[in-house]
Chain A
């Protein structure tokens, strides 16, 4: 396996890890917080 093939696999791996982390965090937030709280942002409010 040459350097560039290795780099390609590494790129796939890192991309998949990052996407999985985001999905896992998204799931964790959904479990830990009330939906009304997550949707409570209002335009123009501090």
Chain B
């Protein structure tokens, strides 16, 4: 790749084109999806326990697991067919239209950049906690937040292969930490370490508490849909995207069940529901120093992997929108040597730092979750239109998901229930998020859309949609 670009003399633009590198395989796709999510197993999911008790959290874990299984199935089919950077943004552009695409692109960038800021804050807070353990009580976490963002942005700037190979290693290590903790508490000997019989109680707030728990149940899986952003950089989209996404979803279902089982057997729901680092606390309760160290390292690795994947995904979405002129075309540049969307990577660094330092963490995370939820709502509508406009057999699909339209309908219903759950806990934030996207849409319609080259929008070699 370096040879081909190095031979290109400046100014010889028309002769040669540049593109993102196609170097990724299914393991990288797995690392991207699971890497973004796994931090939610180490912290965050347990707030669902505070809303609905331990059983309420388990119900939320499996109900939301169903929501994300639908997301993974739908994404696998559409992305393996619309194999381009931008993921759901590109799908929206092809299947629904420009305004939907603009909004979906914005959901993606906001969700990932805010999650990246939250992850970097977690790394900073963990460093502060370690310093406090060693007697340095008031360590400033900010340099570690900036260092995390800078190192990961540097990796992303230099190349996607190394970025996601690193993500594979640290995500696998973080997942292994959860598995080691599971075996460390002797699950085959109930009552020895795990005290489910004593700690599990009925639903403390009834079924309304279970509904309220759905919002935080998203933490178990939030971000698995990020696998789509790798579509333009995988060697075979038809193989890698479904394989990486589905195996990622299976990994997360296992991780979520292990997480709940261990934590609910070690801590009463009143404590677990407000713990900041529940899995590290679980390791401390076992009294095993090696387990504590492993879970601490796992927590750090999961936060770093999540931030890394978020930078990768946010930059691809921003790059794609620039390439289509939904944003200034300047952002659509590819680095001539590293073949990455380097301007998008660079531009999003200060935005992540501002989110990390200026916005409250819970609001940042809620905004991120709601942006994700808006994206899932779009996916259900998108899937129905996709199959209606291009029925099976009319175009080549990399993967066909079974039981259509059941996953799309189920996804829409579960999104509705989760909106209601979010409204119960964060009604004002929900309305603020809606207002933000409406204002952004008005800006796009009245100011930006005139720059979009409408004729260049449809890039897939497909026949005209049915009913066109």
Contact = CB atoms under 8 A, between A and B. Distances in A.
Interface of A: 2-4, 8-9, 11-12, 14-16, 18-19, 21-23, 25-26, 29, 32-46
Interface string B1-16: 0000000101111101
A43 B459 contact: yes
A18 B150 CA distance: 6
A3 B135 CA distance: 11
Contacts of A43: 84-86, 90, 232, 320, 323-324, 459
A11 B143 contact: yes
A25 to B, nearest CB: 8
A9 B139 CA distance: 11
A11 B343 CA distance: 24
A26 B136 CA distance: 39
Given A44-B459, A45-B17, 8 more contacts: A2-B136, A11-B143, A22-B154, A40-B16, A40-B17, A41-B20, A41-B332, A41-B334
Contacts of B36: none
A26 to B, nearest CB: 6
B460 interface: yes
Interface majority SS (helix, strand, loop, mixed), chain A? helix
B59 to A, nearest CB: 41
B342 interface: yes
B116 to A, nearest CB: 15
Contacts of A34: 10-13
Nearest to A23: B346
A21 B332 CA distance: 21
Contacts of B143: 8-9, 11-12, 15
**Which of A16, A21, A26 has the largest count of B CB atoms less than 10 A from its CB?**
A26
Interface in B103-157: 131, 134, 136, 139-140, 143-144, 146-147, 149-151, 153-154, 157
Contacts of B204: none
Interface of B: 8, 10-14, 16-20, 22, 83-86, 90, 131, 134, 136, 139-140, 143-144, 146-147, 149-151, 153-154, 157, 232, 320, 323-324, 329-330, 332-337, 342-343, 346, 349, 459-461
A14 B150 CA distance: 9
10 tightest A-B CB contacts, nearest first: A36-B13, A11-B143, A15-B150, A44-B459, A4-B136, A38-B333, A37-B13, A40-B17, A11-B147, A15-B147
Contact of B10 (A11, A22, A25, A33): A33
B422 to A, nearest CB: 33
B304 to A, nearest CB: 14
Given A11-B143, A37-B16, A44 B84 contact: yes
Contact of A40 (B10, B18, B149): B18
Contacts of B460: 44
B154 A41 contact: no
B459 A42 contact: yes
B343 A26 contact: yes
B283 to A, nearest CB: 24
Contacts of A40: 13, 16-18, 334
B323 A37 contact: no
Contacts of A3: 136
A3 B222 CA distance: 37
Contacts of B144: 8, 11
Interface centre among A15, A21, A26, A43 (most CB of B within 10 A): A43
